[in-house]
């Protein structure tokens, strides 16, 4: 009886876990589609994303102290290091690190924090999409 | 053996054991103070541990943690904002396991663990250039010397000062 309850509890937990996973997990390309939809709705003159523009954006300090590359390096397919704490950072490019850009809430959280740190304002859908296009283009 | 000799043997044995026990307890106490009981919280580990080691809650008093968690958008020069539910959960975990006693003796409003008097006292033998070394970078980088810091173990046994 006890075992049955334990096993069914385990199955239920597993099923919930899977549901949770499938509800939140996306591919980087799907995330890119979200940025595309937001840019179509909100960015005047939007004509699509550019990996080249994303690369420039990524490496620019935008008039402040930091760029994205300050921590993620100019080769975001490789490991990075936090500019302040020295903490190792796993590769940002989904080409090198398949876990990247598969959790929309996590991507939102970090874009929100890091755009504020680097630019002092939120990034536009255009900028996020350009950066993701750049990161997805690496190693190709 | 006459009675005096017996008495002497008995006294010596008792005193020696007492001294040894005290010594063992002292060592144990000192070691236990720098090995924090494994309080675990997945959110704390994941969120606080993404830019630096997840500092054990026992390193700051509750009032300091409360302030840290209320200013996450300006967290030591970086934006570490969290959604309200995560911040509340992590804040409660930090406060309920916060420093008590000696380690809680910090100036009101202290946010930096490295400014606490106990921290300075325990690191007074570390020479200034060590703090500036490339692999250390900042006193906040516990793991640079405390090789077992990630497990909450700051005991001297795990310390390797980089040369």
Q: Are B97 and B135 members of one domain?
A: yes
Let me know if A133 is exposed, middle or buried by CB neighbors in 10 A (0-12, 13-18, 19+).
buried
State the DSSP H helix or E strand holding residue A81, giving kind and residue range, or none if neither: strand A80-81
Nearest CA in chain A to B142: A85
Q: Are B79 and B103 members of one domain?
A: yes
Mark A85-112 as b/e (b = at least 16 C-beta within 10 Å).
bbbebebbbbbbbeebbbbeeebebbbe
Residue B16 belongs to domain spanning = 1-34
Residue of A82, A87, A108 to mutate for B, most B C-beta atoms under 10 A: A87
Confidence (pLDDT) at B34: 73
Domain ranges of chain A: 26-137
Paired tokens of B130: 């060590």
Confidence (pLDDT) at A140: 64
Instruction: Give CATH superfamily name and number for A26-137.
Output: Cytochrome c-like domain (1.10.760.10)
- Residues belonging to chain A with any Cβ–Cβ distance to chain B shorter than 8 Å: 82, 84-87, 109, 112-114, 116-117
Torsion sign (Cα): B99, B103, B105, B109: negative
Residue in A87, A112, A116 nearest the CB of B51: A87
Q: How far apart are CA B147 and CA B139, in angstroms?
A: 14
Mean pLDDT of B82-108: 94
Q: Are B87 and B151 members of one domain?
A: yes
Q: Are B2 and B82 members of one domain?
A: no
What's the helix, strand, coil split of chain A in %, to 5?
55, 5, 40
Is residue B124 in a domain? yes
Q: Are B66 and B126 members of one domain?
A: yes
Beta partners for residue B146, in sequence order: B159
Q: How far apart are CA B143 and CA B160, in angstroms?
A: 10
Query: How many CA atoms are closer than 13 Å to the CA of A66, on its beta-carbon side?
Result: 20
**For residue range B43-60, what is the model confidence (pLDDT) as tens digits?**
999 999 999 999 999 999
In the three-class reduction of DSSP (H, G, I as helix; E, B as strand; rest coil), residue A66 is classed as: coil
Query: Terminus-to-terminus CA distance in chain A, angstroms?
Result: 56
8 Å CB contact of B138 and A113: no
Q: Are B62 and B137 members of one domain?
A: yes
pLDDT for residue A117 is more than 70? yes
Q: Are B23 and B52 members of one domain?
A: no
Q: Are B48 and B118 members of one domain?
A: yes
Q: Are B50 and B67 members of one domain?
A: yes
In the three-class reduction of DSSP (H, G, I as helix; E, B as strand; rest coil), residue B146 is classed as: strand
Mean model confidence pLDDT for chain A: 88
Q: Are B53 and B99 members of one domain?
A: yes
Beta partners for residue B153, in sequence order: B35
8 Å CB contact of A116 and B76: no
Nearest CA in chain B to A81: B51
What is the number of domains present in chain B? 2
Parallel, antiparallel, or unpaired for β A88-89 and A80-81?
Answer: antiparallel
Instruction: Determine the angle formed by the axes of helices A125-137 and A28-42, rounding to 10 degrees.
Output: 150
**For residue range B6-15, what is the model confidence (pLDDT) as tens digits?**
888 888 888 8
Q: How large is the C-alpha radius of gyration of chain A?
A: 18
8 Å CB contact of B52 and A85: yes
Q: Are B26 and B71 members of one domain?
A: no
8 Å CB contact of B137 and A114: no
Interface contacts (A, B; CB < 8 Å): 39
Q: Which comes out higher in pLDDT, residue B32 or B14?
A: B14
Q: Does B46 touch chain A (CB under 8 A)?
A: no
Which residues in chain A have Cβ-Cβ distances shorter than 8 Å to B133? none
Mean model confidence pLDDT for chain B: 89
8 Å CB contact of B52 and A112: no
Least confident of A49-63, B1-15, B39-53: B1-15
């Amino acid at each position: 009886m006890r075992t049955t309850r334990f096993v069914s509890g385990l199955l239920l937990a597993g099923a919930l876990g899977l549901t949770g996973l499938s509800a939140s997990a996306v591919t980087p390309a799907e995330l890119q589609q979200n940025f595309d939809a937001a840019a179509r709705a909100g960015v005047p003159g939007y004509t699509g994303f550019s990996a080249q523009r994303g690369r420039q954006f990524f490496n620019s300090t935008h008039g402040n102290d930091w760029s994205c590359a300050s921590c993620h390096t100019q080769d975001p397919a490789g490991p990075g290091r936090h500019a302040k704490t020295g903490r190792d950072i796993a590769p940002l490019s989904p080409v090198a690190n398949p876990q990247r850009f598969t959790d929309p809430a996590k991507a939102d959280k970090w874009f929100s924090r890091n755009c504020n740190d680097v630019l002092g304002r939120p990034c536009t859908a255009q900028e996020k999409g350009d950066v993701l296009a750049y990161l997805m283009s690496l190693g190709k | 053996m006459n009675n005096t000799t017996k008495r002497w043997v008995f006294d010596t044995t008792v005193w020696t054991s007492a001294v040894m026990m005290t010594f063992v307890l002292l060592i144990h106490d000192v070691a236990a103070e720098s090995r924090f009981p494994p309080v675990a919280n997945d959110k704390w580990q994941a969120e606080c541990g993404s830019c630096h080691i997840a500092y054990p809650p026992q390193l700051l008093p509750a009032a300091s943690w409360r302030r840290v968690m209320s200013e996450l958008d300006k967290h030591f020069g970086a934006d570490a904002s969290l959604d309200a539910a995560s911040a509340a959960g992590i804040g409660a975990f930090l406060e309920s396991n916060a420093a008590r006693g000696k380690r809680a003796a910090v100036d009101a409003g202290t946010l930096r663990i490295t400014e606490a008097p106990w921290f300075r006292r325990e690191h007074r033998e570390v020479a200034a250039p060590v703090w500036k070394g490339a692999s250390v970078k900042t006193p906040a980088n516990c793991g640079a010397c405390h090789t077992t810091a990630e497990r909450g173990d700051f005991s001297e046994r795990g310390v390797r000062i980089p040369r």
